[in-house]
Amino acid sequence: MVKALPKRPYLLRAMHQWIAECGHTPHVIVDAGRDGSELPRAYVKDGKIVLNLSEGATQRLRLGNEEVEFDARFAGVIHHVRFPVSAVLGIYARETGEGMVFSEQDSEPSPPTRPSQAEEGGTRRPQLKVVK
In this predicted structure, what is the pLDDT of residue 104?
Answer: 76
Count CB-CB contacts under 10 A for residue 44. 16
Instruction: Look at residue 12 and tell me whether its pLDDT is greater than 70.
Output: yes
Integer angstrom CA distances of residue 4 from 13, 39, 69: 18, 30, 24
> Where residue 125 falls among pLDDT bands split at 50, 70, 90?
confident
pTM over the 0.85 mark: no
Model pLDDT, residue 85: 96
- Residue 108 domain-assigned? no
* Contact assessment for residue 69 and residue 81, using Cβ atoms and an 8 Å cutoff: yes
Look at residue 82 and tell me if it is in a domain.
Answer: yes
Note the pLDDT tens digit of each residue in 35-63.
Answer: 999 999 999 999 999 999 999 999 999 99
**Hey, which residues does 29 pair with through a beta bridge?**
50, 90
| Residue 119 predicted with pLDDT over 60 | no
Model confidence at 5, pLDDT cuts 50, 70, 90, reads: confident
The mean per-residue pLDDT over the stretch 5-33 comes to: 96
Mean pLDDT along residues 73-96: 96
- Its domain, for residue 31, covers 26-102
Domain contains 78: yes
Task: Report the distance separating Cα 88 and Cα 16, nearest Å.
Answer: 12
Tally of domains in the chain: 1
State residue 63's pLDDT score.
97
The CATH number of the domain where 46 resides is what? Answer: 2.30.30.220
